[in-house]
Amino acid sequence: MKSRIGVYICECGSNISDYVDVEKVKAAVEQEEGVVLAKITMFACADSTQQEIVQDIQEEKLDGMVVASCSPKLHLGTFRSVAERAGLNRYNYVQSNIREQASWAHSDKPAEATEKAIRNVKAAIARTRLSVAMTPSMIPSENTALVVGAGIAGMRVAIDLADTGSKVYLVEKDHFVGGRTAQWGELFPTGQTGTEVIEDLYREVGKRENINLYTGCEVVSKSGSMGNFEVQLRIDPRGIGSGDSTAVPADFEKRLTHAIDACPVVVADSFDFGLTERKALYLNPGGLPGLPAIDRAACTRCGECVKICPEIDLDQKEELLDIKAGSVIIASGFDPYEPKEGEFGYRQIDNVITMQQFRRLIEICGERLTFGGKEIKSIAWIFCVGSRQTGALEGDNKYCARYCCTSAIHSAVVAKKRFGDIQNYHFTRGVRTYGKYETIYEESSSLGDIYLQSFEDDPPVISSENGTTTVKINDILTEEKELEVEPDLVVLVTGMVPRAGSTIGSIMKAPAGLDGFFNEVHPKLKPVETVIDGIFLAGTSQGPKNITETAMSAHSSAIKTHTLISKGEIELEPTMAIVDRTICEWCGKCSEACPFDAIDEVKEDTKSVAVVNEAACKGCGMCLPVCPVNAVQLKGFMDSEIEAMIDAMSE
Amino acid sequence: MTEEKGKKKISILVFSTEKISDPAIDLAGLLKQHYPPEVDNISVPCSSGIKPVWIMHAFERGFDGVFIAADGTDCPFGETCSEKTAEIVSRTHELMKEKGIDPAKLRMAAICSVCSQAFVKLVKDLADYLDETS
């Protein structure tokens, strides 16, 4: 029984103390049996506090420790390490979650949240009193990673992991790699095009034999857990060869081009955001692998393409592939925000397009920038469309999409330099070209771009009459003077939203936040980990990022994945079944219940008893409730500990 | 759950699981999806390892209801988890009947790691039931 327990109650800045009266919690628990020290900390996880706890453990000779703070998902490891640094066994530490499960869950009822926090901390103390020192167990892990999405983030993660020696399955739902970046032309600040960046990464992926790239491939199901995920993939047929564009006959490319020309099916080209059309047999501009694919939803199977190019196989079947992976990295990317009909004139006024459409427009125009047959000489840029939706702006997207100020201003500068005499008018809500990207704002200003600004409760108004489009603003930079512009083109600076129709989150059970993007455990301390062990995030699946930030998050995910799977084994909790041989009378029920064949019958002097194979036991506890004489217990979850917690909570 | 003056507040003990339903309960907090604060939580590795004696102990100690936030088909330990957890509930229902406790005061549902809304709804439903029948 532990009798020198230290209790630390964290304010978490004000995340906890805003709703939970931490002084009251301290007063309620400091006289509990075995507690010799109780302290309130502003941030229990801060280095200085960790050092203070180490000092307390050593000076006060603590034999048990409780930290009442955030979810154990975030800091269990942190405080276990603190305990170990002070010479205390990590399993004599218990974390009480009074943030997610008290402060935040009951922020509407602070007094009740405080009472709940007191019950939780008392239960943690009760458990600590009965805790015993233990040693972790290990399980084998596949040194293989599944990377979902082959855009910038996915390919970057795959390359990094492959270089550490891991096997990588890189799967892309589309028939071409590159994600959104493949659609962009010149990028800021390097001047490279999106296509060039993707070509570089694709080339590097191809050099690595331990990367298996599958395009037209989706994750169908997942079972298992960290270290040993079993995943089923579905590969949609490309309809032509195997995707290897290097081993083809000399005239193949020419015949394919003719086959595309012969295809009678025409659909809107999503690569150009509907500005152009393509065939059912198609190859994206600069698309990689450089082999066309068949859009099966659009294809009528008329066979015109096969007549010209017999290598096309309209009867190719989809394939299912079962793989094993130690971890999964979600790099599924983003969608551009699609404005609602009528939002700033979108789909109601002919010359209103989105920024992403504009990015494609400047790539498909020749020497003159035209739209709808008219040459563009002036452009009105409406910022924050679909982002920062507060005030008069309806919508659920409260966040700033970050990259769009820089991207819009850069696009305006590119258009001006490429097509000459263009006047840009920027209708902003404050320009956020943060960090090094401020230089593009300076360049734009020096080139004569005009900046106007409004608040969220008084956004610019776009109207059209007799073929003339007008943008009006009460410009706060000129004392709310009403100004109006008659531009040739209006570009809505649309931000990022989560991928529509993506099933990867529900398959991986990765939680998303209120904004719909996948949630990390902690934005600073565990920025690429999810609460599901072994599942990591990379790139814009997690939230708006520019390409630099996407690459950085991909590097980070690769490192975290490598740390987890590269050793070939993963540390597991030492929770393990133990049998009280004095009361066990072998009946076999525990053995039947065990999914891991970890319990055997062993003959002793006068009877047979159940014995747990420690190497095979995974600590699930399925053997516990089936024992008719309650002879089986689980280390760390003994009857005495559970019942002591219940007693403490019910006081 | 009503909170009439002088009336005992309904208390519920939740048995959750470390890998699957705990993240959902944390997510409910993160998203400020409020549920009755008299809902306490004990986390275990797997819902099919919960002993009927623990549940009965909770009732004996005054908890009005028990909710098992089960792993369901997401259980990292095996495909039989739902079936085994249901068997635990069934056996505990029998023990409850023997003690004259309404079996409806013990409920279970699979709560996946993102099922925060389901968790909040189900504990509220149980709290409402306990409140109506108390």
Q: Is B40 on the interface with A (CB under 8 A)?
A: yes
pLDDT at A250: 73
Q: Token digits for B51?
A: 């002993």
The whole-number pLDDT of residue B5 equals: 52
Q: Indicate whether A382 and A476 sit together in one domain.
A: yes
Q: Reply yes or no on whether the pLDDT at B56 is more than 90.
A: yes
Are A595 and B41 a contacting pair at CB < 8 A? no
**Local confidence band at A488 (pLDDT 50, 70, 90 cut-offs):** very high
Instruction: For residue B54, give the nearest of A97, A108, A642 by CB distance.
Output: A642
pLDDT score, position B75? 82
Yes or no, beta carbons of B34 and A650 under 8 Å apart: no
User: Does residue A538 lie in a domain region?
Assistant: yes
Look at residues A134, A159, A175 and tell me which one is the last residue of a structural domain. A134
CA distance, residue A224 to nearest chain B CA (Å) = 6
pLDDT(A137) > 70: yes
Write the burial class of residue A466 (CB in 10 Å: 0-12 exposed, 13-18 middle, 19+ buried): exposed
For residues A492 and A376, state if they share a domain.
yes
Does the pLDDT of residue A123 top 90, yes or no? yes
A381-435 residue pLDDT tens: 999 999 999 888 889 899 999 999 999 999 999 999 999 889 999 999 999 999 9
Residues A469 and A585 in one domain: no
B31 and A CB contact within 8 Å = yes
Residue A84 is predicted with a pLDDT of: 96
Determine if the peptide bond prior to A140 is cis (ω within 30°): no
Domain B12-133, classified CATH 3.40.50, yes or no = yes
Tokens of B108: 């279970």
Are A36 and A4 in contact, with CB atoms under 8 Å apart? yes
pLDDT digits (tens, 9 = 90+) for A315-372: 999 999 999 999 999 999 999 999 999 999 999 999 999 999 999 999 999 899 999 9
Task: Classify residue A244: in a domain, yes or no.
Answer: no
A487 and A362 in one domain? yes
Q: Which of A620, A623, A630 to mutate to test the interface with B (most CBs of B within 10 A)?
A: A620
Sequence-distant (≥ 6) Cβ neighbours of residue B90 within 8 angstroms: none
What's the pLDDT at A383?
A: 98
| Residue B128 distance to chain A (closest CA, Å) | 17
Task: For residue A174, tell me if it sits in a domain.
Answer: yes
**Which residues in chain A are contacts of B11 at CB distance < 8 A?**
650
CATH number at residue A598: 3.30.70.20
Does any CB of chain A come closer than 8 Å to the CB of residue B48?
Answer: yes
- Inter-axis angle of helices A110-129 and A22-29, nearest 10: 30
Please count the structural domains in chain A. Answer: 5
Give residue A219's domain range: 144-236+318-333+499-569
pLDDT at B77: 79
Instruction: Tell whether B77 is within 8 A of chain A (Cβ).
Output: yes
A649 part of a folded domain: no
Q: What is the pLDDT of residues A12-45, one digit of tens each?
A: 999 999 999 999 999 999 999 999 999 999 999 9
ipTM for the complex shown:
0.96
Q: What is the mean pLDDT of residues A130-149?
A: 92
Show residues of chain B in contact with A505, CB under 8 Å: 114
Same domain, A459 and A381: yes
Asked if A637 and B44 come within 8 Å (Cβ–Cβ), the reply is: yes
Residue A108 burial (C-beta neighbours within 10 Å; 0-12, 13-18, 19+) = exposed
Per-residue confidence (pLDDT) for residue A139, from 0 to 100: 81
Q: Which pLDDT does position A248 carry in this prediction?
A: 61
Distance from CA of B83 to the nearest CA of A (A): 11
| Contacts for A465 with CB less than 8 Å, ≥ 6 apart | none
- Percentage of chain A surpassing pLDDT 90? 87
β-pairing verdict for A423-428 and A378-385: parallel
Contact B53 A639 (CB under 8 A): yes
Asked if the C-beta of A446 comes within 8 angstroms of chain B's C-beta atoms, the answer is no
Residue extents of the structural domains in chain B: 12-133
Is A621 contained in some domain?
yes
Q: What is the DSSP letter of A318?
A: P
The C-alpha angle B74, A168, A175, rounded to 5 degrees, equals 90
pLDDT band for A225, please (50, 70, 90 cuts): confident
Q: What is the largest CA-CA distance in chain A?
A: 102
Instruction: Check CB contact under 8 Å for A619 and B61.
Output: no
Q: Identify from A75, A327, A624, A629 which residue to disrupt to test chain B contact, counting B C-beta atoms within 10 A and taking the largest count.
A: A624
Cβ contacts from A onto B, under 8 A: 158
Contact B19/A at CB under 8 A: yes
Does A451 map to a domain?
A: yes
A625/B contact by beta carbon, under 8 A: yes
Contacts of B64 in chain A (CB under 8 A): none
Do residues A560 and A585 share a domain?
no
Residue A235 to residue A173: CA distance in whole angstroms: 9
Residues 6+ apart with CB under 8 A from A181: A151, A152, A194, A197, A198, A547
Residues of chain B found within 8 Å of residue A517, distances taken between Cβ atoms: none
Over residues A214-235, mean pLDDT: 93
Residue A126 pLDDT > 90, yes or no? Answer: yes
A172 & A127 share domain: no
Going by pLDDT thresholds of 50, 70 and 90, the confidence category of residue A247 is low
A642 touches chain B (CB under 8 A): yes
Q: Which of A115-124, A530-539, A612-621 is most confident?
A: A115-124
CATH number for position A396: 3.50.50.60
